[in-house]
Amino acid sequence: NSSSCFKRCCFSQKSSPPSPQKRQHQSKAQPMQIKIYYEDTDAQGIVYHANYIKFCERARSEALMQAGVDFARADAHFVVSELCAKFLRPARLGDTLEIHTSLAALKNASALLRQEIYKIKDIKNVDFSELLYVQDVKIAFVKDGRPIKFSAEILEFFKSLR
């Protein structure tokens, strides 16, 4: 049931979604910046909701690549098993966004990550520090359709996101 996922995974009482505020990033992973173009928006110039999930996916992949983690194996790969999202404010055409990723929980074969998207500049290059979107995403590493334990390298990477 979808409400149990929301209560268990995303924004439980222990981990409530922050209200829109200034950036408070604490992870060692480098935040990723994205500029919003026409292709990212609807007819009103507002970012289409599915693109926030894509932006977060790019940020996770980029963080792994920057850390030099070998995660693009032919026989195993990451999958998203749960995703809970909270849309706080819209991003618009011309905005510059910054995606922050931190570790919420870690097991041998899965990780729960908190990702936050902040607006840091608008189309006129005015500085902002506004939280727009938050997601909790549970990812696992699978081989032949079954979860497998993370390698020591991947575990260390996730631990660095604390």
Q: Catalytic annotation on 42?
A: yes
Token pair for 109: 């074969």
DSSP E strands in the chain: the ranges are: 32-35, 76-87, 96-106, 110-121, 127-143, 146-147
CB proximity list for 97: less than 8 A, separation 6 or greater: 33, 34, 35, 36, 55, 91, 117, 118, 119, 120, 132
C-alpha–C-alpha distance, residues 86 and 136, integer Å: 9
Catalytic residue among 42, 75, 122, 136: 42
Catalytic residues: 42
